[in-house]
Amino acid sequence: MFDYDAILNSLLNPNLNKQQLAKLIGTQSTQFTSERTKLKNNYSDEDLISAYTSFYFPTNALKLEFLTQNLSDEQISAISKTHILDIGTGPGTYVFSASELFPDALSFTGIDESKLMLKQANKLNDEYFKNSKIGFSESLPLVDDAPRTIIFGNSINEMGMPAAFKIIKRYKPKFIICIEPGTKEVFKDLLALRKKLLLIDYKIQYPCMGQGSCPLQNMDDWCHQSIKTTLDYELESLSQVAKLDRKVMPATIHFYSFDEEATSTESSDKARLVRLKRNVKHAYLWEVCTSENKVITLEVPKKLFKKKMLKQLDGISSGLEVSYTVAKELENDTFRVKDIEIEID
């Protein structure tokens, strides 16, 4: 998506070598996953911010691209008529990503409480992106009637769901995009936010196919997306030195619109792929969530696909939409399908 060399040249400390970056990324990764009380340490000096920017910025940015691949042209055009506000922007991850994916949007503003992250974001814009519609700030804008899309990118997870909900209630954005870590804990938090948003007239447009309660809410299970990437050679090599895989990135991605903007995709034979449950000789068993918010299993015969397609389906990503026709109801909420459509790219 971005020119990786240009990013490396615009790091707050562009003199760190691959080994130094990988070591810092390793320390950060531990703090993100197991030492969460020390999270703020991750943003405490220019070297750590540079490491974050060299690794998480270009890879996280791809998650917004994944979401847009699952939105309709109408939804993309409606987002393009708003001001985009990225809260917890870090080095500008979703501001820069949005500026490429929604180039006609009215403006792009990144908000962050970390001065160093903002310094890094401004450096990237001054030296590489050079986009005058982009700005960064430590404080939220004045509340007014401007049409907005608010993006929370790995930040609800840090500020807490109640703080994010408070911001949403203040600004009443037309669209809300949450891109958070793909963990069970975060999923539960985002489900609580989903419940609150549906009560104040937001409609969930992705990944749920319907507006009912989530079938996983009282279960020890969670719904997330697995995003497959092809990385720049240097970035791939950095991920190998850091021993952190970014070829498949789990994420919890939710997209809402305020009710009048709803462009609902509800349909009885459409569903969202939750996971590939089993891959047996003659069929795939796909767990999907339907427009009635029910989790069912589709038995998809392999004979429905060409050989080349089967290779891709063996490593299919969660979060894609499928349209199908049922041939036969089997046991345990399992349905054999007679035809199926799925868009992989």
Ligand X SMILES: C[S@@+](CC[C@H](N)C(=O)[O-])C[C@H]1O[C@@H](n2cnc3c(N)ncnc32)[C@H](O)[C@@H]1O
Taking residue 221's Cβ as centre, other Cβ atoms within 10 Å add up to 14
Percent composition of the chain: helix, strand, coil (DSSP 3-state, to 5):
40, 25, 35
Angle between the N-to-C axes of helices 46-69 and 115-124, in degrees from 0 to 180, rounded to the nearest 10: 70
Task: Determine, following the binding rule CB under 6 A, whether residue 319 of this chain makes contact with ligand X.
Answer: no
Binding-site size for ligand X (CB under 6 A) equals 20
Task: Establish if 89 lies at the interface with ligand X (CB under 6 A).
Answer: yes
Interaction between residue 112 and ligand X (CB under 6 A): yes
Q: Does 99 bind ligand X (CB under 6 A)?
A: no
Burial, 18: exposed, middle or buried (Cβ in 10 Å; 0-12, 13-18, 19+)? middle
Region near ligand X per CB under 6 A, out of 111-119, 120-128, 273-281, 285-293? 111-119
The answer to whether 100 contacts ligand X (rule: CB under 6 A) is no
93 binds ligand X (CB under 6 A): yes
Shorter beta-carbon distance to ligand X: residue 89 or 291: 89
Q: Find the shortest distance in angstroms from Cβ 32 to ligand X.
A: 7
CA quadruple 259, 69, 319, 301: dihedral, nearest 10: 120
111 binds ligand X (CB under 6 A): yes
Closer CB to ligand X, 92 or 210, in the complex:
92
- Smaller CB distance to ligand X: residue 57 or 286? 57
Tell me how many degrees the CA angle 161-117-170 measures, rounded to the nearest 5: 35
Taking CA atoms, 328 is separated from 273, 292, 297, 298, 325, in Å, by 19, 19, 12, 10, 9
Binding window for ligand X (CB under 6 A); candidates: 85-93, 280-288, 301-309, 317-325 = 85-93
Applying CB under 6 A, the span of 14-22, 148-156, 217-225, 331-339 interacting with ligand X comes to 148-156
**112 versus 261: smaller Cβ distance to ligand X:** 112
Report the residue number, 63 or 272, with the smaller CB distance to ligand X.
63
Biggest CA pair distance of the chain:
62
Task: Tell me: does residue 210 bind ligand X (CB under 6 A).
Answer: no
Site for ligand X in 242-261 (CB under 6 A): none
Task: Report the residue number, 96 or 335, with the smaller CB distance to ligand X.
Answer: 96
78 binds ligand X per the rule CB under 6 A:
no
Q: Which of 62, 68, 52, 44 lies closest to 7 in space, CA to CA?
A: 52
Of positions 1, 106, 159, 244, contacts ligand X by CB under 6 A: 159
**Applying CB under 6 A, which part among 90-98, 210-218, 270-278, 283-291 lies near ligand X?**
90-98
Site pattern 38..57 for ligand X (x: CB under 6 A): -----x------------xx
What is the rounded distance in angstroms from the CA atom of residue 228 to the CA atom of residue 287? 19
Which residue in the block uniquely carries the two structure tokens 């549906």? 198
The reply on whether position 318 binds ligand X by CB under 6 A is no
* Separation of alpha carbons 81 and 148, rounded Å: 8
Output the six-digit token pair for 281.
């000789």
End-to-end CA distance of the chain: 15
Tokens of 325: 């026709």
Binding flag, residue 155, ligand X (CB under 6 A): yes
- Return the number of the residue (29 or 69) whose C-beta is nearest ligand X: 29
For residue 303, the tally of other CB atoms under 10 A from its CB is 8
- Distance in angstroms (rounded) separating the CA atoms of residues 158 and 36: 9
Binding segment (CB under 6 A) for ligand X, from list 108-116, 241-249, 295-303, 315-323: 108-116
Residues in contact with ligand X by CB under 6 A are: 43, 56-57, 60, 88-90, 93-94, 111-114, 117, 153-155, 158-159, 163
